[in-house]
Each structure stands twice: as C-alpha cells, then as structure tokens.
Amino acid sequence: MRQRTDRDDETGIRVRGARLIGAATVLALAAAGCNSGEKQATSEVGVSAPTGLGSFYGQQLSWKGCGGGFQCTTAKVPLDYSKPSGQKIGIALIRLPARDKSERIGSLFINPGGPGGSGVGFVRQAAEAFGSDLRKRFDIVGFDPRGVGQSDPVHCNTGPQLDAFFAADSSPDDQKETAAFAADSKEFAQNCGAKAASELPYVGTVNAARDIDVLRAAVGDKKLTYYGASYGTYLGAFYAQQFPGNVRALALDGAVDPTTSSTGLLVEQAKGFETAFRAFANDCVKKPNCPLGTSTDAAMTKLASFLAQTDKKPLSNTRDTRQVTEALAVMGIASALYLKENWPVLRQGLAQAFQKSDGTLLLTLADQMVERHPDGSYSNQTDANMAVNCVDKPNPASAKAYGQAAAEAKRVAPHFGPFVVWGGLPCVYWPVQTKTRPTPVTAKGAKPILVIGTLRDPATPYKWAQNLASQLSSGVLLTLDGDGHTAYLQGNPCITRATDDYLLNADPPKPGTICR
C-alpha cells in the first residue's frame, strides 16, 4: 500500500515526508548536559520547571492562523541553558488542532529526522496522514529544532558552494584526491565558523531535547507524546534520558544506536545502503528490461563498473549545466532507496545513465535528498545536519583517521562505504568539538517506549533498532519485515494499528511483534 504522506514533485518522483536525513551522515547522541536529577521549581503559572527556567516553561504561546487550518507560533528558549538570563532564540511551531476538543488527550509532537529536517514543513504536508483517531484526540504539533528551518537557522554555504561540495570526489583513490576533498571539507567547516560561530556550540541534540521539554510545558501538557523518525529517534531517546518522568508515549521509528562512534555510525549506515541496494537489485533482475542484468551478483558488479566509469567521465544532465559526478550518482541512487515506491524511478534513472550517459534522473533524486531547489538555492538542511552531527560526538583528529574508517566501510559496503564515511570529513575541522563519549541511553524510570525498526532500512540499519530497544529500560521493539527508511506512515496496517494504539493509550504491542 502506498504511504499516505507521499506526493509527487514536479519530476513525478515520490517525495516522502518522513525521509529526512543528511547527505552522508545521520546524527549523534551526546551524553553531555544530562540533568535528569536537576532540582525542579514551579513557574508562575504552576508548571514544573528546572530552577531558573520558570519563565520559559510558563510562557504563554500566541497561536495564529497560518493557512489550511493550521496555527503557528514561536516559543522562546535560552541559547545556553547554563545562562538562562542570557541570549534567547526562537523555536518555530505549527499545529493542526484536534478535531474533538471534548476527547482531546493533548499534543502529539513530531520530528521527521535529519538532523536538519523541518518539523514545521513536515506537519504542514503530512499532518492529515496520521490516523483518524490520532487526529481526533491530539493536536498534531511540528517544530523546527534550534538551528533548523525557521528556528534561528544555521547558514554557512551558498548554493554554488554546496553544489561544488556535493559534486566533489568523496571517494578518493589516491593522496592527491584525498587532499583535494580534505580542502573542500575544511572550507565547509570554515564557512560555518565564519558565519555561525555564536550558534555552533549550542545546536546539538542535548539542547534540542531540553527545548522539547520547554515546548511540552508551554502547550500545557504534563507528559510528552512524541513520534520521531530517523534522527528523531535519537532526539526522542535523549529526551527520555533527561526527562524520564515526563514521558507519556514515545514512538521512535527508524532508530539510531546511541552507543556508536561518529565514524562507526557511518560504516554501519553504509552497510545499510548496501543491503538496501541488493534488495532493489534482486527485485529489478526479476523484471523485464532491468538495466542491471539478470542476476543480483551481476547487478552489483555492473553497479561497481558504472561508478568507476562515472568517476572518470561524469554524466550529462539536461536540467542545468552541472555534470553528474560519481558522488552525485551515488547520492541519487541512495536517495531512491529511502522509499520502495521510487524503485521504478531508479530503474529508469540507471537505464538512462547506462544507455545514454544521461544522469538527469539520478541528479534529480540527489537534489531531492539534500533539498536543493530548482533555482539552485538550498534549504538549510545540509548546514544544520553537519552542525549537529559535528558537535554531538567526538570526531577523529585527522583525515587519515577518516581514511581508515573509509577503508573498513569499503570492505563491508564496497559500493557505498567510502562516500558515506568521507561525507563526514568536515567534522574533523569543525570549530567546536566535544570530548563526551557515546554511552547507552537507558531512560530509567520512563514509561514504555516503542522502538520501530525495518529489516532492510537503508539509512538506519535494523540492528540499531534492536540495540536501542535493548538499551532502554522500558524499550519495546516493533519490527517491519520490509524495505525503505522508517515504517510508520507507509500504510502497513499492522504497523499503523500498533503505533496508533500505543500513542493513544500508552500501551505498546507485545515485545518482538513482527509486521510483514
């Protein structure tokens, strides 16, 4: 069944709202700033708040109509929670009010992933796709995390600068190519240091999770009800770690394992894309005129040959003047793997590339992934994605260390590994670094937390969902035996029913439930 949030863009490609993730990196979980034992005070309006934050927790939001039945507002939070009387920033929110005020439970907060994904944009597009019972009893609330979208966004690079970065050879074959990509990555980091230095220390997940608790109180909810996809699972898990007593129901879909290192996470994600492409290839070779041939192994070999050829001679493109380099071709392929309904588009794109050296469709898929607009501008997703990832976990000290991780990734994921790992290289040169090591998230004392994993998820491998569910003291694992990134909102009745029932009643499905 077609996912209910899908829509066609101008190219006819299916765009899935819950598919928000960085071009090469996913996210990171920092244990820094965990204050679950922080003393509580009561704000002037009776809302429980950490000491010194009463004015934020008790703020009165001014909701105004913003079209289509939606209401919008901006909440204030401190830039630095250790200095609540200092600089303040705005967090943009949108909501679609519950249909039945008499049976309203509260707010269902949504984070679609990234880091860098706009919850405001996602909810405006997809709020009606949530089940009728959820729409009846919850305000569907989206927010742009700090540094993202309309919430004091991080802006580092111009459209042409990002075009150059994404087209650069991010699978270097020798020292000269490695040095060239290192220079590109250093420039990316320096641009952020020059244009967003005051924000960079504070955009990480630790502060974004604290913002959610302010938002929960500001909308009048005693406990948090939340759906997070991809990076949103990490954000939600970290919220539970800091505020276990404030959890009502958290559905974490397409989970990320918080214990992995920054490069270890990229290696595992590369393996996920490798698994997903093999599933695509296995499906393709069973169909007539598959451009990859007639066997899965032959398809994998043909992909390797195609990428090697594109590395030497980029493809043409009929949309604009850009050449479709090997890096852009891989990005386009990876983008299509997020949603199984884009597999026919990927078959067509590969056929055009193989037969005509035309990379137009692959480029269109790549642009969709990084939110490049037809006029050559970008959303701030890429800048925000890198800003959050680079401050959330310790980074290797040199390009050489990235090269070692890339070599391991190439061994276990030969077609995607180097591209995924090298894509995080700007973090080596980032102006802000952390020394806090990744640790398990237990959220001890929290009510049951639902973790959803998809067996052949390209971007968040299934074993991450297993790991997160086992780390959480109250984690319950729900599995989709399927393809694509995340499970909920794909239309699988079993997943939809189990997730909706949990969000409505805070009663999770039986542990180990598998939906096929």
Rounded Cα distance between 266 and 421, Å, is 5
Three-state secondary-structure class, residue 93: strand
Task: Tell me the HSE value of 286 on the side-chain side, using a 13 A CA sphere.
Answer: 6
- If one counts every other C-beta atom within 10 angstroms of the C-beta of residue 400, the result is 11
**Cα–Cα distance between 26 and 244 in angstroms, integer?**
24
> Angle of helix 296-312 relative to helix 326-337, nearest 10 degrees?
140
Please give, one letter per residue, the 3-state secondary structure of 7-51: EECCCCCEECCCCEECCCCCCCCCCCCCCCCCCEEECCCCCEEEC
For the packed helices 326-337 and 262-284, what is the interaxial angle rounded to 10 degrees? Answer: 70
Per DSSP, the chain holds a count of helices (H) and strands (E) of 17, 16
Asked about 485 being catalytic, the answer comes back as yes
Determine whether 230 is an active site residue. yes
Describe the chain by its helix, strand, coil percentages, rounded to 5: 45, 15, 40
Q: How far apart are the first and last CA of the chain?
A: 12
Q: How many CB atoms lie within 10 A of CB 258?
A: 28
Rounded to 5 degrees, what are φ and ψ at 137? -115, -5
- The one catalytic residue in 163, 221, 457, 483 is 457
CB 328 within 8 A of CB 366: yes
Q: How far is CA 136 from CA 100, 104, 112, in A?
A: 5, 7, 21
Q: In sequence order, what DSSP letters do the residues of 96-148 get, joined into one string?
A: E--S-GGG--EEEEEE-EETT--HHHHHHHHGGGS-HHHHHHEEEEEE--TTS
Cis peptide, bond prior to residue 426, ω within 30 of zero: no
Choose, from 118, 171, 185, 230, the residue flagged as catalytic. 230
Q: Is 516 exposed, middle or buried (0-12, 13-18, 19+ CB in 10 A)?
A: exposed
Q: DSSP states of 243-260 as a string?
A: -GGGEEEEEEES---TTS
d(C-alpha 415, C-alpha 300), whole Å: 8
CA distances from 114 to 145, 211, 290, 420 (A): 10, 17, 32, 15
* 415 counts as catalytic: no
Please state at what angle helix 296-312 crosses helix 343-356, rounded to 10 degrees. 50
Determine which one of 139, 152, 169, 485 is catalytic.
Answer: 485
Which residues form the catalytic set? 230, 457, 485
